[in-house]
Chain A
Amino acid sequence: MVSNLLAIGPELALTATIVLVLMADLAIGPRRARRATLLTLSVAGLAAAAAAFALLPEGPTAAFGGLVSGDGLGVFFRGLFLVAAFFGIAFGALSDEVPEGRFGEFSALLLSTTLGMCFLVQAQNLLMILLALELTSLPSYVLAGFRRGDRRSSEAALKYVIYGAAASGLMLYGFSLLYGLAGTLDLARIGPALAAKAASGSVAVRAGIALAALLSLAGFGYKVAAVPFHQWCPDVYEGAPTPVTAFLSVGPKAAGVAALIRFVVVGFGASAASVPAGGLPWPVLLGVLAMATMTLGNLAAIPQDNVKRLLAYSSIAHAGYLLMGVAVGTPDAIRAVAVYAPIYLLMNLGAFLAVLAVRARTGSESIADYRGLGGRAPLLSVCLAVFLFSLTGLPPLAGFIGKFYLFASVLNAGTPFFYVVAIVGVLNSVVSLFYYARLVKAMFLEASPEAAPAIPLPVPATALLAVLAIPTLVLGIWWSPLADLAARAAGIAG
């Protein structure tokens, strides 16, 4: 019993923090140091959750009758989500888009999303996956519509909730079919049960398995914004407050990818190295999805004029790169995804921090207002350029290492199909250079418009920028600690 509770120690700490933040928000009232107090409380809660990792039971021990797995993949990504939550809350404290009076709500909602993500990556049971996915989604709908009087924010929330609710409905239907076919909700037992069914079953059973898998995929595809479930993504990212966009673009996306890995690899035993249960060609299916996602994301990013929208399409493209790793599905590829996810987190959050700083001063998200930024805010511009080049995957930055691991794992799959996937991925990286460089060119090579304000950086923003930029530089040269850590994430309990 106690070991069960210790296995979800970080989640218990997060839950306590959410309750405390809400209570403190009510108790403090409209006093001056309100934001600082609530920020301290939230960050202390995250630190407590991080400390609870030390109490996790040794080894991959499933808890609560196999509802949660406690394996390396779960532990690695839960740590990542705490980091994402820290930056999300810190960005919220910096931004004028989150009013001081509502910072408590913002923090509690963001922590609730984080709680959902933490459960999602370790869920080993269909019911648990669906509940965790909803716990991730419901607060993020509210976060997207956080600016109450703002039409664009409301509209973003509406689009997010309708697409999201439809996707989770389809996923529930898919899960119900899986339950009917396999007779169990336990992921680890679904694979063998489906394999037995498919071996002895008729065409109708095989069609049922395929339908169930595709419908379930809709839920995950929506969470990671993979084509063809991506339509909500640009609108929501543009309309939502910038700190929320930054958080949504790294947190739930990484959670969706990790949960999809577990669903496909544990549930269906799918990887390029083995024939998946139920005879579904998962590697090819996910490979095609990955190619479509990155190609559409990159091509659609080219004509964008709004930086948040551009970064939204860029995040779709990066979901495509991550899906390549999921498609391969070998421990090697899962490790590559685990290397890429934290690097993506750093560089994407960094880019959004720069957007946030510029917005706070100019009130604009248009690329035209980034002209001549290099002269007005040299440090910010240089950092943003570093993040953008890292997102492209240029050496010697961290993004290059992430892409290197991913492409290496795809090539190691060794089939002609995956050679094609790798080539498409490389071509896409070239295309992405085009739109990232356009922003860099606007900052450094074009003259400032008349009467453009200087952009002073407050000290906390500078500190956060350094915390994000320095690892982006260092991990490009010295990445072995991260790679070792990620190797542990590849240990999935089957």
Chain B
Amino acid sequence: MTIGLPQFLVVSGALLALGLYAIVTRKNAVAMLMGVELVLNAGLLNLVAFSRYGGGLDGQVFALFGIVLAAAEAVVALAIVLQVFRAQRSVDAAKASQLKE
């Protein structure tokens, strides 16, 4: 079997599904952010795959920017998680419930 575009799309689809599953089911804020990383990487994998199979270089450039973007987002998100941990001694998103109806 030769590896082609469909195989990459299946892998990225699986990454997207796993990432979304983690975001929806996890209570731990850090685990939710790991889910976000999976979703981001699914998109980046798509971009590189489309670029390799006939889309020109745009996709690879996008993916490079995307990697930097994911890093920047992780930095800000983890800093905020740290602040939440200082405030309530836990990173459990379910315990962050001062604000609700």
Give A151 to B95 CA distance when docked, in angstroms.
11
Range class of the A interface residue count? 35 or more
In the complex, chain A residues whose CB is within 8 Å of the CB of B47: 176, 179
User: Chain B: interface secondary structure?
Assistant: helix
In the complex, chain A residues whose CB is within 8 Å of the CB of B84: 154-155, 157-158
Q: Interface centre among B54, B58, B93, by most A CB within 10 Å?
A: B58
CB of B53, distance to nearest CB on chain A (Å): 9
Give A487 to B16 CA distance when docked, in angstroms.
42
- Contact check, B46 vs A239: say whether CB atoms are below 8 A apart: no
Q: Is A395 at the interface (CB under 8 A from chain B)?
A: no
CB of B21, distance to nearest CB on chain A (Å): 12
- Contact check, A161 vs B76: say whether CB atoms are below 8 A apart: yes
- Contact check, B73 vs A145: say whether CB atoms are below 8 A apart: no
Give A238 to B86 CA distance when docked, in angstroms.
20
- Contact check, B50 vs A168: say whether CB atoms are below 8 A apart: no
Give A176 to B44 CA distance when docked, in angstroms.
7
User: Chain A: interface secondary structure?
Assistant: helix
CB of B60, distance to nearest CB on chain A (Å): 11
With A134-B72, A161-B80 as contacts: A173 and B46 at CB distance below 8 Å: yes
Residue of B nearest to A239 (CB): B99
Give A126 to B62 CA distance when docked, in angstroms.
9
Number of A-B residue pairs, CB cutoff 8 Å, is 133
- Contact check, B19 vs A169: say whether CB atoms are below 8 A apart: yes
Give A254 to B94 CA distance when docked, in angstroms.
31
- Contact check, A173 vs B42: say whether CB atoms are below 8 A apart: yes
Q: Is B18 at the interface (CB under 8 A from chain A)?
A: no
- Contact check, B81 vs A158: say whether CB atoms are below 8 A apart: yes
- Contact check, A162 vs B43: say whether CB atoms are below 8 A apart: no
- Contact check, B99 vs A235: say whether CB atoms are below 8 A apart: yes
In the complex, chain A residues whose CB is within 8 Å of the CB of B62: 126-127, 175-176, 179, 185
In the complex, chain B residues whose CB is within 8 Å of the CB of A388: none
Q: Is A424 at the interface (CB under 8 A from chain B)?
A: no
In the complex, chain A residues whose CB is within 8 Å of the CB of B96: 154-155, 158-159
- Contact check, A172 vs B36: say whether CB atoms are below 8 A apart: no
6 contacts between A and B (CB under 8 A): A134-B72, A142-B80, A157-B84, A172-B66, A173-B46, A176-B43
- Contact check, B98 vs A162: say whether CB atoms are below 8 A apart: no
- Contact check, B54 vs A177: say whether CB atoms are below 8 A apart: no
- Contact check, A162 vs B32: say whether CB atoms are below 8 A apart: yes
Give A159 to B77 CA distance when docked, in angstroms.
10
In the complex, chain B residues whose CB is within 8 Å of the CB of A175: 43, 62
- Contact check, A183 vs B76: say whether CB atoms are below 8 A apart: no
Give A284 to B85 CA distance when docked, in angstroms.
44
Q: Which A residues lie at the B interface, using CB under 8 A? A: 126-127, 130-131, 134, 138, 141-142, 145, 148-152, 154-159, 161-162, 165-166, 168-170, 172-173, 175-177, 179-180, 183-185, 234-235, 238-239
Give A127 to B65 CA distance when docked, in angstroms.
8
CB of A231, distance to nearest CB on chain B (Å): 11
Give A185 to B47 CA distance when docked, in angstroms.
11
- Contact check, B87 vs A150: say whether CB atoms are below 8 A apart: yes
Select which of B16, B33, B88 is within 8 A of A162 by beta carbon.
Answer: B33
Give A130 to B47 CA distance when docked, in angstroms.
14
CB of B62, distance to nearest CB on chain A (Å): 5
Give A148 to B73 CA distance when docked, in angstroms.
19
In the complex, chain A residues whose CB is within 8 Å of the CB of B81: 158
Give A324 to B34 CA distance when docked, in angstroms.
36
Closest 4 CB pairs of A and B: A169-B39, A176-B46, A172-B43, A180-B50
In the complex, chain B residues whose CB is within 8 Å of the CB of A152: 98-99
CB of A310, distance to nearest CB on chain B (Å): 12
Give A159 to B59 CA distance when docked, in angstroms.
31
CB of B37, distance to nearest CB on chain A (Å): 8
Give A434 to B96 CA distance when docked, in angstroms.
31
Give A155 to B92 CA distance when docked, in angstroms.
11
In the complex, chain B residues whose CB is within 8 Å of the CB of A150: 87
**Known contacts A130-B66, A142-B80, A154-B87; can you find 14 more A-B pairs with CB under 8 A?**
A134-B69, A138-B72, A138-B73, A154-B83, A155-B87, A156-B99, A157-B84, A159-B99, A166-B20, A173-B12, A176-B50, A179-B50, A179-B55, A179-B59
Select which of A141, A172, A184 is within 8 A of B77 by beta carbon.
Answer: A141
CB of A366, distance to nearest CB on chain B (Å): 14
Give A159 to B88 CA distance when docked, in angstroms.
15
In the complex, chain A residues whose CB is within 8 Å of the CB of B73: 134, 138, 165, 168
CB of B26, distance to nearest CB on chain A (Å): 10
Residue of A nearest to B78 (CB): A161
In the complex, chain A residues whose CB is within 8 Å of the CB of B40: 168-169, 172
Q: Interface centre among B16, B62, B80, by most A CB within 10 Å?
A: B80
In the complex, chain B residues whose CB is within 8 Å of the CB of A138: 72-73, 76
CB of A155, distance to nearest CB on chain B (Å): 4
In the complex, chain B residues whose CB is within 8 Å of the CB of A127: 58, 61-62, 65
CB of A305, distance to nearest CB on chain B (Å): 10
CB of A175, distance to nearest CB on chain B (Å): 7
Give A134 to B69 CA distance when docked, in angstroms.
8
- Contact check, B61 vs A145: say whether CB atoms are below 8 A apart: no
- Contact check, A151 vs B36: say whether CB atoms are below 8 A apart: no
Give A151 to B86 CA distance when docked, in angstroms.
9
CB of A178, distance to nearest CB on chain B (Å): 10
CB of A321, distance to nearest CB on chain B (Å): 23
Give A141 to B73 CA distance when docked, in angstroms.
10
In the complex, chain B residues whose CB is within 8 Å of the CB of A161: 76-77, 80
In the complex, chain B residues whose CB is within 8 Å of the CB of A134: 69, 72-73
